[in-house]
């Protein structure tokens, strides 16, 4: 049987080139050989305050970008997390199996709560909901970046804990980390991950940025001292990051790019990179506009959620039976 894959992206801002290269491109490949569940994780988004209108717009935008990038809703389940209520119910059950100390050790919680006078409880316990997201489908593989590996380890621990207490039931998931493209860095700091939450819009390429904005952001991207276009992440993180982006979007090997720009300064390389990005994103943007204007998105999300609910309901029923909950008659 095909292995199950589960992943999701928060609708808390504009998706970036980093989301596309590091996650969505791999989703498209994974659907060819796996049973895939790709969510828009709106329940996770509300661990911090969200404007209701913005949350709706970003939710639709992320779902449409999934489809525009090539995720096929006929073979993959594409849906909103909140449309499958079993996520939240299993999330509570899993929270009761999670120790305070495990949540306190989560580095993402430490980073996001640092310097704040008040932090919502949802931000503290959301790794338990993330574990439930994975376990509700008994996912085999979870595409994760380096910043989420700790959460997946917690999920593995919780699956084992449940199995030990209540009998073998949950699949213990494995990480899926692609060799290339897992981590695209910021345009203004090659040592930090490109993030849609960065307050500086010049630090990222948004997937829906117009061509002129893309060219301008690349032309202003920070570069290392010197002028050699060589891949050396330790000593030249800025130009190495731009070369990685070039390679991912052009299909050229890093050495081919280095050879092409040998003896040239950064200006010509950055100008060409801007054009490569425009050529990569314009077809995706056109497809996105067609999807949004077609009116089909709601039906696609409803169908994906219905299929996901069927699987999730069976899992939840099995969990509750093993734990001793009285069944509804």
Residues labelled catalytic: 112, 193, 196
List the alpha helices (DSSP H) in 136-235. Answer: 149-166, 211-219
CA distance 245 to 270: 11
Distance CA 281, CA 62 (A): 15
Torsion angle of the four alpha carbons 249, 252, 254, 260, in this order, in degrees rounded to the nearest 10: -110
Q: Decide: helix, strand or coil at residue 164.
A: helix
Q: Is 136 buried (19+), middle (13-18) or exposed (0-12) by CB count in 10 A? A: buried
Structure tokens at 239: 């130009």
Residue 15 DSSP SS3: coil
Using CA atoms of 56, 60, 66, 71 in order, give the dihedral in degrees to the nearest 10: 130
**Residue 51, both tokens:** 């404007």
Q: What is the C-alpha to C-alpha distance for residues 7 and 66, in angstroms, rounded to an integer?
A: 12
For residues 187 and 198, is the Cβ–Cβ distance under 8 A? Answer: no
d(CA 189, CA 193): 8
Residue 240 to residue 236: CA distance in whole angstroms? 6
DSSP state of 147: G
CA triple 271-272-275, angle to 5 deg: 95
């Amino acid at each position: 049987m095909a292995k199950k894959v589960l992943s999701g992206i928060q609708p808390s801002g504009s998706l970036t080139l980093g989301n596309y290269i590091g996650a969505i491109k791999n989703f498209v490949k994974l659907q060819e050989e796996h049973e895939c569940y790709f969510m828009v994780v709106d329940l996770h988004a509300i661990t911090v305050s969200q404007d209701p209108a913005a949350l709706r717009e970003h939710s639709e935008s992320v779902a449409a970008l999934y489809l525009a990038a090539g995720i096929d809703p006929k073979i993959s389940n594409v849906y909103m997390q909140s449309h499958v209520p079993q996520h939240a119910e299993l999330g509570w059950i899993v929270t009761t199996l999670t120790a305070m100390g495990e949540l306190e050790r989560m580095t993402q919680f430490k980073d996001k709560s640092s310097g704040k006078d008040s932090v919502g409880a949802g931000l503290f316990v959301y790794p338990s909901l993330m574990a439930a997201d994975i376990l509700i489908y008994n996912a085999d593989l979870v595409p994760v970046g380096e910043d989420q590996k700790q959460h997946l380890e917690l999920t593995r621990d919780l699956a084992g804990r449940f199995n030990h207490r209540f009998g073998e039931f949950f699949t213990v998931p494995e990480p899926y980390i692609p060799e290339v493209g897992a981590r695209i860095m910021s345009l203004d700091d090659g040592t930090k991950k490109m993030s849609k939450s960065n307050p500086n819009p010049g630090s990222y390429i948004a997937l829906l940025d117009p061509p002129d904005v893309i060219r301008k952001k690349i032309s202003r991207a920070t570069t290392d001292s010197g002028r050699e276009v060589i891949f050396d992440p330790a000593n030249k993180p800025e130009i190495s990051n731009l070369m990685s982006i070039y390679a991912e979007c052009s299909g050229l090997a890093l050495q081919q790019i280095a050879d092409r720009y040998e003896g040239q300064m950064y200006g010509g390389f950055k100008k060409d990179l801007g054009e490569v990005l425009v050529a990569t994103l314009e077809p995706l943007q056109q497809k996105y506009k067609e999807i949004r204007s077609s009116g089909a998105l709601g039906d696609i999300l409803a169908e994906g959620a219905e299929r996901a609910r069927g699987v999730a309901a069976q899992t939840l029923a099995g969990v509750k039976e093993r734990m001793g909950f009285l069944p509804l008659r």
